[in-house]
Structure 1
Amino acid sequence: MKIRENDFWVYFSSKNESNSTNNDKIGKWMYFFNDAEFTEKICQKAILNSVVEHCKYTNNAESGVACFYLNIDDIEGHKKVIKFFLDNKLIPINKSGKFKNISFKLDMQTMNREYGDKFEGKLSLEHFIDLSSGIFK
């Protein structure tokens, strides 16, 4: 595993990383955190367990975001990331007891500054699991 950082991010990548990511298709599942130490361990675990080849989290902050990268058309990869999120309790549960319908965000959407109401996810958790039970469809 390779780890590098700058003032903004701590990056993790696998040693056997491939060039199988396409810039138009690359995106991320995001985990918003309030515990940087836990998040560092989660990122390391994701790389060591081959969940993703690349991930990062906000540096020098107790709260922020961790991003787990893959191509939008990698359906098995999405299932692997979602299972990892479920197993590690990284998906918030709303007041009705259902999993929050988090979205996969393409890097192009981030570059185009699609945030908040401007952001419309092309892929979301409900495409893969029942939000009430957490069981894969």
Structure 2
Amino acid sequence: RAHPALTLGARVTVIGLRSAEALNGQGAHIVRFNGVNGRWEARVNISGEVKSFRAENLRPAGELIFEPGARARIHSLRSESGSVLNGEVCEVLRYLHDVSRYEVRLADSTKALKGENLRPVEEAAE
């Protein structure tokens, strides 16, 4: 069973901020969830400041980050049904925080896959 990546104490990487772009790529750890505004509060490693983030601006630390619209190649799936997808190129649709997986579009279906089973596709190599 998958566990949500965003939990108290979790190490995360900040991504996709437009107003505070300097924080993008910074490591942080979650200190609390603010139920009033629905944001996660995380202490930024480099400054020690606690900042408030939307879930879509946080990813588990150390995980490759794929933005919506990115192309990725599927690899290392081990189940019988999953292994046939290895080598397929897919389009990333969004990150599903509740299951810590990326929703991806294949030619005839959508799947929810772990970031560790996706590899960036270099456009020039295609």
Place the TM-score, normalised by the shorter chain, in its bin. under 0.3
* Greater C-alpha radius of gyration: 2
Select the structure with the greater relative contact order (CA < 8 A; seq sep ≥ 6): 1
Q: Could you tell me the TM-score, scaled by structure 2's length?
A: 0.25
Instruction: Give the strand-richer structure, 1 or 2.
Output: 2
Q: Could you tell me the TM-score, scaled by structure 1's length?
A: 0.23
